[in-house]
Structure 1
Amino acid sequence: MKLKSLSQLIVAALATTSAVQLYAQQAPYQYSAYKTAQAPVLDGKLDDSVWQSIAASELFVNHNDNSVAEQQTWAKLAYDDQYLYVAFNSQDRDIAATLGQQDDPTYEYDDTVEIFLDPTGQGKNYYEIGISALTYYDSVINSPEPWQDDVPWDIEGLEYGIQVNGTINDNTDVDQGMTVELKIPLASLNYSGQDEGSNPSQWRFNFHRADYSTNSPQWEANAWLAWSPMGSFGFHQPTKFAYLNFKQDVLWQAGTAYTQNDQVSYLGSLYQALYYSSQAPGKSRQDGWRINSAEPQAWQANLVYLTGDVVSYKDQLWQAQWWSQSQQPQQAQDWLAVPAQAVPVE
């Protein structure tokens, strides 16, 4: 047994349970991608089980100074043994899109969402993929300084779906925005002659957005947004890209029957099934899930807790004395307040 101080546990608990903390990362950010057992349907609707099981990224910010963006954008990412899956949701009151051919530089005129991928983390030969309401582009940036790129290069097998909620190039009405799904074959990320997509562990990457209005002049975007901010002007700063960590834990899948000891990831937390369950973790008192984490999490009424489990509740840590569900800490004998000095952790 190891002992952790109460102050350490409180910090860990608050960091993992508070929604506010989702916006407290320091650049470059970290993103954990989990495996999916079922690929999303590429219709741009983002209603697939895979996306419902993933917490949205922090909202994109103005990339050069980390200030709050006027229009909200978030993204999600998952993978399986063959593909990388990406989802974008961009709020937009005026959707602009004029260029329609593959590899057109939509980022110069049109609303565009982008993902940069650097599997080797070396800042060279990294991939840039952008989607507008009308088309997409893909290219390899051989080197940002001095600038060298390979625009004619194509990702073999790239697929995507778009849902436009509004009217394109009409600033007389108010649009809602655009949602995008991408399916990127890992095997196609082999520009340098090696299969950079096999056995992924940690890459460098980032999400971006160019936000234009109808009839905007070239390069005069309303905002240049990023998920992990750059700190200065320009998206192409690979030393400041975020870290992408590939996790082996599988996302919870709707319609799947889970049995005892099955483990899934759901909204950023890991859960273990104590008995048969086909419901999402924490949604029902009959779902049979317990949280599986080395650090304390916020108490949830519908989860099962076993002897020794530690939770946070009303700024206090509590330890389960036996099997417990629905019994609030501080109001039931199921729980004992953790002493101020230390708490045992396996």
Structure 2
Amino acid sequence: MFALPLLMAAPPTAPVNPPVPRGYVAFKATTPPTIDGKLDDAVWAAAPWSEDFADIEGFDKPAPKYRTRMKMLWDDRALYIAAELVEPNVWATITEHDAVIFHDPDFEVFLDPDGDNHMYAELELNARNMTWDLLLTKPYKDGGTAVNAWEIRGLKTAVAVDGTLNDPRDTDRGWTVEIAWPWAGLKELTAAAVPPADGDHYRINFSRVEWDVDVKAGKVVKVPNRPEHNWVWSPQGVIDMHRPERWGEVQFSTKAAGPVAFRPDPARAVKDRLHDAYYAQHAYRARTGGYTAAADLLKLRPDPSGVPTLEATPRAFTASLKAPAAAGGKTWVLDQDARLRAE
């Protein structure tokens, strides 16, 4: 028998005091918007704007320099997304589909309809309306890979620039985005109802990448050795968008307009508790070489949701916890790759 090494690779970093995920109620569109990037269709008036985006790490970080907000609608064919990005100097250099779009300033959508943390979608686009759509088998921290060859079937996107693209001589107002994401482009990812029913929830988040720039010889150039800014709708608590458990939620309503109250996931506390155990297990394995079935060794913080039941081998584990009847009464299970499921 070969002995396991005592020290493993650095464990996934747990979010620090992550905020409660945000929620949004998406109303059903009476007519589909025209996807031209301009947001002037009358149907958009029924959709409220989201809260302003915040720093990816949380509300205790400095507020973003420029405003970003989004809104959503849906019908039996597609999910519709609109976004407004205030920007005094709109620029974009990437001109190829499926390039690494966030090397430009961009707008990003992350979508996991069944909320299992695996098989989720990401879409990025820049101010030239160049897109990168990719499928994530599981989060990068869990060894997931990005399937760049995956394409969102029937996707339509458009961008409108309020100003002049790539001309730093004047002051722009920003750019707006419109997206029609057909349900047909999601069915292969999920066991959730597609299209959704009234009251259904999908896990979703939005991100804006912004770069510090200078103007040299009439062109915009990035300031060397500065990381990007990450401004998001629902803060993650860590600089990593690939933590689906920290995303916000969209609640679908068959009404054409509000008010409709957002109802947070009643099992959120149980799921968060399981993710506490997930991060503790990975930290334990990094110290000792294996996972444990002894919850007391993980030194979990006290929580009214209870102590998860653990099963473990040196290289795999499950953590399970039953939700109270008021939260659906299901037993939720999370494994070493962060896959979440109900039993």
Instruction: Tell me if both proteins adopt one fold, taking TM over 0.5 as the criterion.
Output: yes
Aligned-pair distance for 1:207?
1.1
> For residues 202-213 of structure 1, what are the structure 2 equivalents within 5 Å?
202-212=201-211, 213=213
Structure 2 partner of 1:72: 67
1:233 counterpart letter in structure 2: I
CA distance in structure 2 between the aligned counterparts of 1:90 and 1:219, rounded to whole angstroms: 24
Paired amino acid for 1:53: A
More helix by share: 2
For residues 39 and 221 of structure 1, the distance between their equivalents in structure 2, rounded to whole angstroms, comes to: 38
Deviation at 1:174, TM superposition (A): 1.6
Kindly indicate whether residue 229 of structure 2 is the aligned counterpart of residue 223 of structure 1: yes
> What is the Cα deviation at residue 148 of structure 1?
1.2
CA contact (8 A) 1:210 1:221 kept: no
SS in 1 for 2:253: strand
Partner residue in 2 for 1:187: 184
Q: Is the 8 A contact 2:114 2:191 kept in 1?
A: no
Match of 1:94 among 89, 94, 98: 89
Do structure 1's residue 149 and structure 2's residue 146 form an aligned pair? Answer: yes
CA displacement at 1:43 relative to structure 2: 1.5
2 CA distance for matches of 1:35 and 1:189?
Answer: 18
Q: Which runs of 5+ in 1 are unaligned?
A: 1-25, 252-264, 271-292, 294-346
In structure 1, the residue corresponding to 2:73 is in which secondary structure?
Answer: strand
The residue correspondences of 1:7-18 to structure 2 (distance < 5 A) are none
> Helix, strand or coil: the match of 1:155?
coil
Q: 1:238 aligns to what? A: 244
> How many residue pairs get matched?
230
AA of the residue aligned to 1:232: V
Gaps of 5+ in 2: 1-18, 214-219, 262-343
Q: Over residues 158-211 of structure 1, what are the superposed CA-to-partner deviations in whole Å (9 max), with x where a residue is unaligned?
A: 011210112223333221100010001011112347675233511111011011
Q: How does 1:88-167 map to 2 (within 5 A)?
A: 88-107=83-102, 109-134=103-128, 135-144=130-139, 145-167=142-164
Which residue in 2 is equivalent to 1:81?
Answer: 76
1:289-322 Cα deviation digits (max 9, x unpaired): xxxx9xxxxxxxxxxxxxxxxxxxxxxxxxxxxx
Percent identical among aligned pairs is 29
Distance 1:52 1:146, change over 3 A: same
Distance 1:161 1:98 in 2: 17
What's the CA shift for 1:235?
1.2
In the aligned structure 1, how far is the partner of 2:254 from the partner of 2:106? 31
Q: Residues of 2 paired with 1:72 and 1:57: CA distance?
A: 11
> Which among 247, 256, 259 is matched to residue 253 of structure 2?
247
The equivalent residue for 1:50 is: 43
Q: Which has the higher strand share?
A: 1
SS in 1 for 2:123: strand
More divergent stretch after superposition (216-225 vs 138-147): 216-225
- CA distance in structure 2 between the aligned counterparts of 1:211 and 1:120, rounded to whole angstroms: 30
Separation in 1 of the partners of 2:66 and 2:132?
Answer: 23
- Taking the aligned partners of 1:58 and 1:41, their CA distance within structure 2 comes to 24
TM-score normalized with structure 2 length: 0.63
* SS in structure 1 at match of 2:255: strand
Whether contact under 8 Å (1:60, 1:69) holds in the other structure is yes
TM-score by length of 1: 0.62
CA deviation vs aligned residue, 1:82-130 (integer Å, no higher than 9, x gap): 11000000000122211111111110x2111111110010111111011
Question: How do 1:276-295 residues align onto structure 2 when only pairs under 5 Å count?
Answer: none
Paired residues of 1:96 and 1:215 also in contact (CA < 8 A): no
Give the corresponding residue for 1:40. 33
Q: Distance in 1 between matches of 2:229 and 2:190?
A: 36
Matches of 1:152 and 1:27, distance apart in 2:
34
Is the 2:118–2:137 Cα contact (8 Å) retained in structure 1?
A: yes
Superposed CA RMSD in Å reads 2.2
The residue aligned with 1:28 is: 21
AA matched with 1:90: L
Matched residue of 1:250: which SS? coil
Q: Is the 8 A contact 2:114 2:190 kept in 1?
A: no
Find the counterpart in structure 2 of residue 63 from structure 1. 56
